Amino acid sequence: MLGDSRKAQEVFNTMLREAAVHAAQGELPKEPFWLFREARWRCLEASKTDLQPEPLEIEEHDITSRAASQVKQLEPVQLAIWIAAAPEPQRTALALFYLDEFNYLEILDIAELKLSTLSRCLSQGRRQLQAWLDAKHTGVPEA
């Protein structure tokens, strides 16, 4: 989410230390995704002082039947870099979606989004990713 592994490591280490302290004191929240939600907010806070991308129109293609295999051909770092460039809250939605560990209700909970916003973020982001994948793999979109 940060696009900077050093900052991500700092956030991760801070979260782990604080979670350990809370656990030792018996103060861990009962909600299942509190750690993910807290980590997301800390990443957003850490990135506020960074250079922010300018909003721009990104080409979109319809998601094709080969989209999943195209994504699997990517190195994980390539997908992470592409997602890190997305604006919030699309970045969070795409990161959680492509982790492939959470269902839609869990993503809604962690990202603290409304269903309509999550739907828009994922739909638009996946169509933008499809355009990039088409250009990267074939140079032309599937007809």
Summarised one tens digit per residue, pLDDT across range 7-35 is 777 877 887 788 888 788 888 888 878 88
Residue that has been written with the tokens 């990135």 in this structure:
47
Phi-psi bin for 100: left (phi > 0), alpha (psi -120 to 50), beta? left
Q: Is residue 56 in a domain?
A: no
pLDDT at 53 over 60: no
Query: Within this chain, do residues 78 and 132 fall inside the same structural domain, yes or no?
Result: yes
Query: Within this chain, do residues 132 and 89 fall inside the same structural domain, yes or no?
Result: yes
Question: Which range has the top average pLDDT, 22-31, 114-123, 130-139?
Answer: 114-123
pLDDT at 94 over 90: yes
How many domains would you assign to the chain?
2
Give Cβ neighbours of residue 125 (< 8 Å, ≥ 6 apart): 86, 90, 93, 94
Q: Is residue 79 in a domain?
A: yes
Q: Is residue 76 in a domain?
A: yes
What is the pTM assigned to this prediction?
Answer: 0.66
Query: Within this chain, do residues 35 and 78 fall inside the same structural domain, yes or no?
Result: no
Residue 126, token pair as written in the block: 């996946």
The pLDDT value recorded for residue 81 is 85
Q: Is residue 77 in a domain?
A: yes
The pLDDT value recorded for residue 52 is 56
Q: How far out from the chain centre does Cα 123 lie? A: 13
**Domain end residue (candidates: 12, 30, 50):** 50
Query: Within this chain, do residues 68 and 120 fall inside the same structural domain, yes or no?
Result: yes
Confidence of residue 4 (pLDDT cuts 50, 70, 90): low
Q: Is residue 97 in a domain?
A: yes
The pLDDT value recorded for residue 105 is 94
Domain that holds residue 105: 62-143
Mean pLDDT of 105-124: 94
Amino acid at 98: Y
Q: What distance in Å separates the CA atoms of residue 67 and residue 89, rounded to the nearest whole number?
A: 22
For 70, 82, 136, the CA distances from 74, given in Å and listed in that order, are 7, 11, 10
Q: Is residue 57 in a domain?
A: no
How many Å from the N-terminal Cα to the C-terminal Cα in the chain?
A: 33
Q: What is the mean pLDDT of the chain?
A: 83
pLDDT at 119 over 90: yes
Query: Within this chain, do residues 109 and 141 fall inside the same structural domain, yes or no?
Result: yes
Query: Within this chain, do residues 141 and 88 fall inside the same structural domain, yes or no?
Result: yes
Query: Within this chain, do residues 118 and 92 fall inside the same structural domain, yes or no?
Result: yes
Contact 56, 124 (CB under 8 A): no
Q: How many Cα atoms within 13 Å fall on the side-chain side of residue 77?
A: 2
